[in-house]
Every structure is written in C-alpha cells, then in structure tokens.
C-alpha cells in the first residue's frame, strides 16, 4: 500500500514503538541514501504527508507491524497529528547496503531499536532497553532455499526462464493472474481520479494505464499494488501492459498467465544482478521483462525474445533513478512504449548486434553488462543524484 520504501520505513517505526511499549518522544532514523531518495517525493496513502521521516512517525504512532507493507492502509487523524508534531532526526549512513533503515525510538529513559534490511519487511535487528532480541546479517536474508533462488536468478538466462514458464505449476500462474487483477484495479481507478501528472490522458492504452497506475501510487492512492523486486512501479510495469495486450489479442488465460510469469521472472533476474535499490531505473529493467512478455503473447521464439531484450539494452540503458515520485509515470510510459517497439522489431527478426555499444551477443551477456554498469558505473551517479535532491531542500 503506497510506495514500498515509505511503507518499509513506517514498518520499522511501528516495530520500534511496539518494542518501546509507549509513544515515543523522539525518533532517530539512520538509513541509506537510496531509501531517502525513494521516499522523498512520494505521497503517503490516506494523508498529505511525504518523506521517510513522516512515514516512520506514522508507523510509530499507531501503526500495526502485523500489517507488513500494508501498514499505511489505514490511518487515524490522531495518528497523523502526532506524526506531524514529533521530532524525527534523519541521518544518512554511507556504510550500509541500499535497502537499510534503522529506527531508534526513545521515551524518558527507555529506548528501542528496529532495523529493516535486505528486504523491505525483514527485521534484521531488534533491541529493547539494551537487550538484543534479534541480530541477523545486515544484507543476507531468507532460508537456504530462498538464497539458492536468489543465486539462481543472478545467473539465469531467458532460455531457462522460458523453460520454467512452459511447465510452470498452476500456483505460479494463479499468482501472476492475481497480480494482474490487483494492478489493473489501480490503473483503472487512476483514470477516474486526478493524480500526479495525469500522463495517461495523452497516450496509448497499455502504456497509459501503467503510467496512470504509477501516477496514482506516487500520489498516495489508497489501493494496493502487487510488487516485483520490492517495487510497486516495477510490478505495474510487468503486469498492466501485458494484460492490455493479452486482452486485445484474445489470449487464453493460460497464455496470458505464462506471458505474465515470464515477464515477472525476467524482472526478478535483472534486479538480482543489480540491487533492489539502484541508480539504474527499475522501470527500465522491468520493461525488458515486459518486452519478453509481449513477444511471448505473439508466439515469438526465444531468439526473438533475445532480440527484444537486446533492443531495450541498446535503447534505454542509462535511465537514472532519481527517487520515487510523480515523474516515475513518465519513465514507465517511455519504457513500456520502448518495449512495444522492441517487440515489433523482434518479431521481424530485427535487433542490434554485439557491435552496438554495451549490447551483448545474447540476452545473458547483456544481463552481465547491465550488472557491471549498475555496480561499477553508477555508484557515483547515485551519490550525485541524492546530493542534488537534498540540495533542493535547503
């Protein structure tokens, strides 16, 4: 419910307050630049507040940690009033992973600490009045099986993902169809209400609906979104356009489910190669999965999916993430339009070859190049982006 980074921040605030056992008189937040960047410009559901400090405070004054990332789905006027008046100190830590937030809640001589890291709803450290209740590795999460999945996604090829999709269990197909239903709901809702930049009014249906859903979500629309890689905007990008194209083509439910599943898996595989939070725009990497889903709906071959993938890499690599905010809708629109263009070229067996800049000889090689750009090439870019954003607050 709402943008993922503010939701995680509210969750950390709620847990810290629960451990404290009373309403905090002050809150301290230690977090990464990426968390700040992705919470600075987005509206919070059911209120007019913005930013990571407001999200933490809302969680601390009445948030229920059992709600997980839907913690902002219900707010009271008393909760909003208290969140607006409490002192919340913010500190950026350059020595923590991108997905990290530490909340220290204080009241009189009592203190509680809650840390979320690795995943948006994973408590890696909990402390109550000096007693450590939980202490896990900061950036390692999940069971051994989940770690194997993460490692697999970091090396998987589109060919392997397609092989899985063709024989996927019904549970996986049902899950992505449910994601389609949920994300289409906010897209259609956004067309009837005034949110953000209203990108949707001017553009073609698939791209427009995805942009509309992002517009609504970034403005704090109180409707849920099914996420991909910890991102609602990526979840929207990977479901809504494919749902529209599938309906136009009158694809069977099974065909549509497999296209959605392939797109989601490509999105996960690309995020595994960068970071959940990165200077490389998530709408771009998600739209590569969308392009593969488009090709699948049109009965394209694996080679044509590779072609669509490489066209996206040759076309849009370098789109930066300057935080979660209303212009995400513009980027989603541009990326989905590019995905449609890449698909059209691919089904005609047209795509750039490996002589073209960072395009690889295959989608697998292009994935590796994107990984290098994300990790080696954009570290300073990320710092510069946040410096600009914080400078505007002065």
Question: Which pLDDT tens digit goes with each residue over 332-365?
Answer: 999 999 999 999 999 999 999 998 899 999 999 9
Residue 386 has a pLDDT of: 87
86-115 per-position pLDDT tens digit: 999 999 998 999 999 999 999 999 999 999
The full set of domains in the chain, from first to last, is 4-135 (3.30.1330), 144-391 (no CATH)
Q: What angle do CA 171, 176, 178 make, to 5 degrees?
A: 90
The strand pair at 26-31 and 87-92 is best described as: parallel
Identify whether the C-beta of residue 35 lies closer than 8 Å to the C-beta of residue 277.
yes
Q: What is the arithmetic mean of pLDDT over 177-206? A: 78
In terms of Cβ atoms closer than 10 Å to its own Cβ (0-12, 13-18, 19+), residue 274 is: buried
Identify whether the C-beta of residue 99 lies closer than 8 Å to the C-beta of residue 231.
no
DSSP state of 243: H
Query: Of all residues in the chain, what percent carry a pLDDT higher than 70?
Result: 96
Query: Of all residues in the chain, what percent carry a pLDDT higher than 90?
Result: 71
Dihedral sign (CA 74, 80, 84, 86): negative
Residue 255 has a pLDDT of: 97
Q: How far is 345 from 300, CA to CA, in rounded Å?
A: 11
53-87 per-position pLDDT tens digit: 999 999 999 989 999 999 998 899 999 999 999 99
pLDDT confidence tier of residue 202, bands split at 50, 70 and 90: very low
Residue 276 has a pLDDT of: 74
Name which residue leads in pLDDT, 391 or 309. 309
Half-sphere exposure of 146 (CA within 13 A, CB side): 6
Highest-pLDDT range among 134-143, 161-170, 315-324: 161-170
358-371 per-position pLDDT tens digit: 999 999 999 999 99
pLDDT confidence tier of residue 38, bands split at 50, 70 and 90: confident
Residues facing residue 26 across a β-bridge: 87, 106
Mean of per-residue pLDDT scores for the chain: 91
Q: Which of 157-171, 200-214, 275-289 is predicted with the least confidence, judged by mean pLDDT?
A: 200-214
Say if residue 200's pLDDT is above 50.
no
């Amino acid at each position: 419910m709402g943008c993922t980074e503010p939701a995680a921040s509210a969750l950390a605030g709620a847990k810290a307050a629960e451990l404290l056992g009373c309403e905090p008189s002050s809150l301290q937040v230690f977090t990464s630049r990426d968390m700040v960047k992705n919470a600075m410009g987005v509206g919070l559901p059911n209120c007019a507040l913005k930013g990571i400090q407001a999200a933490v405070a809302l969680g601390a004054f009445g948030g229920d940690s059992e709600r997980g990332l839907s913690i902002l789905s219900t707010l009271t006027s008393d909760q909003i009033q208290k969140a607006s008046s409490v002192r919340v100190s913010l500190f950026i830590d350059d020595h923590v992973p991108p997905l990290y937030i530490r909340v220290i809640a204080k009241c009189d001589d009592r203190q509680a600490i809650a840390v979320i890291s690795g995943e948006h709803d994973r408590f890696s450290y909990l402390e109550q009045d000096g007693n450590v209740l939980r202490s896990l590795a900061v950036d390692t999460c999940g069971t051994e099986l989940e770690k194997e999945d993460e490692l697999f996604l970091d090396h998987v090829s589109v060919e392997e993902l397609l092989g899985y999709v063709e024989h996927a269990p019904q549970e996986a197909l049902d899950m992505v169809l449910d994601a389609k239903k949920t994300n289409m709901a906010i897209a259609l809702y956004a067309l009837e209400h005034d949110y953000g930049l209203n990108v949707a009014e001017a553009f073609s249906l698939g791209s427009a609906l995805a942009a509309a859903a992002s517009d609504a979500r970034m403005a704090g629309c109180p409707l849920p979104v099914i996420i991909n890689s910890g991102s609602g905007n990526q979840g929207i990008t990977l479901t809504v356009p494919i749902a529209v194209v599938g309906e136009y083509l009158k694809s069977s439910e099974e065909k549509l489910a497999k296209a959605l599943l392939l797109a989601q898996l490509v999105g996960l595989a690309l995020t595994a190669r960068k970071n959940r939070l990165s200077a490389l725009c998530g709408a771009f990497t998600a739209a590569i999965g969308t392009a593969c889903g488009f090709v699948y709906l049109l009965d394209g071959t694996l080679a044509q999916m590779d072609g669509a993938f490489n066209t996206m890499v040759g076309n849009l690599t370098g789109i930066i993430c300057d935080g979660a905010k209303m212009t995400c809708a513009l980027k989603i629109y541009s990326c989905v339009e590019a995905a449609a263009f890449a698909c059209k070229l691919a089904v005609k067996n047209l795509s750039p070859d490996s002589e073209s800049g960072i395009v690889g000889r295959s989608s697998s090689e292009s994935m590796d190049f994107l990984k290098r750009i994300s990790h080696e090439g954009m570290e300073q870019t990320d710092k510069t982006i946040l410096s600009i954003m914080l400078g505007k607050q002065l």
